[in-house]
Every structure is written in structure tokens, then in C-alpha cells.
Amino acid sequence: MINNSYNILFEKFLEIEPYILDQKTRENLFFEIMKVLTEHHLNNSKQYQNILNASSFRMDKLIKISDLPFLPVRLFKEENLLSIKDENIIKTMTSSGTSGQQVSKIYLDKTTARNQTKVLNKIVSSFIGKTRLPMLILDSSSVIKDRSMFSARGAGILGFSIFGKEKLYVFDENMKIRVDELNNFMQIHRDKNIFMFGFTFMIWKHFYKELKIVDYKPNLSKAILIHGGGWKKLVTESVSTDIFKSELNKVCKIKKSNIHDYYGMVEQTGSLYMECEYGYLHTSIFSDIIIRNSKDFSVCSEGQNGIIQVLSILPHSYPGHSLLTEDEGILIGQDGCKCGRRGKYFKVLGRIKSAELRGCSNTYEG
């Protein structure tokens, strides 16, 4: 059953543009709904209640955002955490991971799934516009299988597909570019803006490198690319963000300012942190981050490296609204990015050294 106070507050958030409020204003609104969520999970998840009771947590001691209790994101690999009855589960999403690793399982009800779509729509539309565009999916259609259980890769494709029309999966089942189909698509839509989506490492290996091999240079100068995941593999190849953008520009003329990375995870699907044209990731009104010291979990100052805590107003069917990730990041500033978007902006520096190795493109090993 949806918490009525939460529902009312959530609808208020949907009326606000994702990046228009300054950090202080948004933080006051955000904290209000996060308190409601915390109490909701305390009342509806026995496991969450036991965890917080063990740490002597008390709602009346919850004074500010940084007081919000957090769960280690790894816990979702080890426990089935949910705040709804089993019969209300409509979808189970699994995290990415290399073969043999445990994966997170995230359980959604109708309301949570619907809210994820609404928020994703608000965030992405602010970057690509509200009109659905011809879409190139830089993946194979074979990845979409069981729609009741999504991998991070499949969920990403289906989630972003709502922004496209006349979609083309660029790769065949062997992850080779469908050159004839792509060329035909480009001819049909040669005077239109195009939306592209894919996973970072796969774009590099199967799109960028293959385009060079087949010596085909589609003109994607009017395209907007959103991508994420798989950076660890590219770092081992000494591929930086700048190199990634520059090389793609060379093979298909896509503007570097139209290439947007994002930071997100299946444990908080829908709450994306999008990269602006200046290379910084941004919190929206639906999310927040806190950088914590790895030694004592105290809050880091701007410019200080630490572990990323992610907060989201979306997880209602499971207690995933405040999570300590296994990623290291740095808060650059608040309200001052040259792109004009307000709120916090930051960078992800990579996985913390003791973290379990995790792939970001499902179990893909190509």
C-alpha cells in the first residue's frame, strides 16, 4: 500500500523542473520526503527495522540530510529486502555483474515502477527535449528477454526506449554493426535530430572500433548520445572521457557537447546523475549525494575524495532510498556549474580499492 504522505509529496516534486532549485531550497523539500520514506521502511520492512535498531537509530534524532541512515549497497546482493507484500511484486530487477558474482535483486510494485519512469522522463527530457526522436540503440535486440526480470543492461535499454521512435538496434546477435540497416536509417532521418543510447564499453568496442574497421562514417552531427557503465574496462585501455568523446566525433561527427555520461545503479533505477556539457555529474531534485570519509564516514568537504552515498526519493517498495556505494567521488560544488543547472555537481573517481569487482554491462564479457 502506497504511503499517502509520500504520494502527496512525490506529486509536488513532479511539478518542479529537475535542476531549477538552489541546493538549500531543494534540500529542505528533499529532507521532508526522505524522512517519510525512512519511517515507511521502518514500519514495513522487518529487516530494515532490525538493522536500524541495531545501530540505535531514532527518528527524533533525524535533524538533517546527513543524519539519514544508509545501507551498504552490497547488502542487496546478500538479502532480499522489500517493504511490500510478495503478491504486490510486479518486477524484479538484477544488477550488473561478471559471471559467478552475486547480483542485487530489486523488487518493484506498480507505484515504484511507474514513479521510476516518470522521474527518468523528467531528467532525460531536460537534456534531449520532450519530443520523441528517432533512436539508435547501440546494442543487440537479443538482450531483451524476460520482461519480468530485468538485468541492468536490459532495464537501461527499455527505460531509455521511451524517448525514441522508429528505433534501430545497431548490432546484430554477434555484436556486429548492421551497416546496411544503419545506412538506411541515416538516409531516412538525415535531416532530423537523433537520440542514441548504449553502454560505454560496448559503444567503444563494438561501435567506435567497428566503424573504423568497416571504414563507414555515418553523419551523426545532429545526434545526442547518452551512455553509461563499463568505464573500468576503458581505463585499462587508457581511454579517458575526453578521448572517448573526441574519437567518437572523428568516426561519426557527433558533437562532444552532445555526449552525456550518466551515473546510476539498478538499486536506485530512475535516479540518474547526468553529465552536463562541462563534464560534471549533477544531482536532480529527485536525488542527492553525500561524500563520506572512508575511515569514519564523516561528511567530506567540497574537493575532498570519499565514498559516495546516494539518496533518492524513488525507492518505496524496498529500503533503497539511502545507500552507501562502493564508488569514490568528489563534490565539486553547489549551484555554481557553468551549465546553469543548480544543485550539487560532482565527479566519480572509480571503485574503492576494497570493493568487489563489478561489471556495468550485465554479464557481458565480449
Helices (H) and strands (E) in the chain, counts: 11, 15
pLDDT in tens, 31-51: 999 999 999 999 999 999 999
Instruction: DSSP for 38-79, please give it.
Output: HHHHHHH-HHHHHHHHHTT--GGG--SGGGS--EETTHHHHS
Q: Is the pLDDT of residue 148 over 60?
A: no
Output the CA angle 220-224-226, nearest 5 degrees: 125
pLDDT in tens, 164-201: 999 999 999 889 999 999 999 999 998 899 999 999 98
pTM of the model: 0.89
pLDDT in tens, 64-112: 999 999 999 999 999 999 999 999 999 888 876 554 568 888 999 999 9
Residue 150 is predicted with a pLDDT of 52
Q: Count CB atoms within 10 A of the CB of residue 287.
A: 26
With a CB cutoff of 8 Å and minimum separation 6, the contacts of 117 are: 159, 162, 270
| Domains of the chain and any CATH numbers | 117-262 (3.40.50)
